[in-house]
Amino acid sequence: MVINDFVNPNLQSGISNINIIKWNSGEFHHENDKVAMEEPLEIVAKYQLGKNTIHKPISVTMRTPGDDYSLIIGFLYNEGLITSLRDVIDIEFRYTCDGEAQDQQTAIVSLSESVIPRITSLERHFYTNSSCGVCGKTAIDLAMQHIAYVPKSLDGCLTSDQITIAPEILKTHQKLFHETGGIHASGIFDLNMKLIHFAEDVGRHNAMDKLSGWCIQNNILPASDHVLVFSGRTSFELIQKAMSIGFPIVLSVGAPSHLAMELARLNGMSLIGFIKSNSFNIYSGLHRISKNKIH
């Protein structure tokens, strides 16, 4: 596979330096600040249909620039459009710039013939649209259709201490978060709670897609002997993406939505949230936690 990537250093950093006015102790003063960048990335599928070369827009996602290749691979996989890296022939990045303005950021993804049926019949479901007619049960049924892995049992594999320390381990490595305060992270850990890799982005879904793309590139599929840790709350789509990679355990600093909880429960995944230094909530999959005596 060929990657034709024009690297813009201003984009790759994921951070923008700006001038602000700060109020502190009753006084206003000028100050330099760092904020997380958010830029649109258009993903376009390119494939041959007979003698015709087709360019089909797939998505425009607002993301923090950097690690775009993993983001694209993870997004296409989590959407069920590709099943492996073999489906991707080439990725060409195109940036149209006017000074510091980014007018266009497009990734042209050349796909193999095996993907064409899935691309031509593409009908994405947007769960965030309350008027689209997709109820909770329908959303779960659609998600379950794309799941290739059953979460590994791993009885008693994690202790309470390991669970409570995982978010802190992830947080210590979050460079963009420490510099901007406005960023999400997804991290993959082994069963000894050693951080293997993590991804950051202004969008929590993008961070998960970047992590998924890394897992696919590094042959960690399924991630059946690993733990996924989120820096914030857990939505339905994040659990769906975690399921597609085969994670048996998901830990999150924040709370899950009721639909995320239901999807994890039906799939046999362990979902643990509201993790603090001395407490956490178990929403499903109690058997993977050791010393789980309930009072």
Active site residues: 132
**DSSP bridge partners of 230:** 186, 252
Q: Are 78 and 212 in contact (CB under 8 A)?
A: yes
Q: Phi and psi for 97 in degrees, rounded to 5?
A: -120, 145
Q: CA 94, CA 41: separation in Å to the nearest integer?
A: 10
- Do 212 and 245 meet the contact criterion of CB atoms below 8 Å apart? yes
Angle 263-145-55 (CA atoms, 0-180°, nearest 5)?
115
Question: CA distances (Å), 69 to each of 11, 188, 216, in order?
Answer: 13, 18, 12
Q: How far is CA 18 from CA 27, 34, 174, 175, 181, in A?
A: 20, 6, 21, 18, 14
* Cβ neighbours for 66, distance < 8 A, ≥ 6 positions apart: 11, 12, 13, 14
- Other beta carbons within 10 angstroms of residue 161's beta carbon come to 9
Helix (H) or strand (E) holding 177: helix 175-180
CA distances from 291 to 1, 48, 165, 228 (A): 47, 56, 17, 21
**Residue given tokens 């980014």 in the structure block:** 102
Biggest alpha carbon–alpha carbon distance for the chain: 69
Per DSSP, the three-state class of 280 is: coil
Query: What backbone torsions phi and psi does residue 39 show, to the nearest 5 degrees?
Result: -135, 150
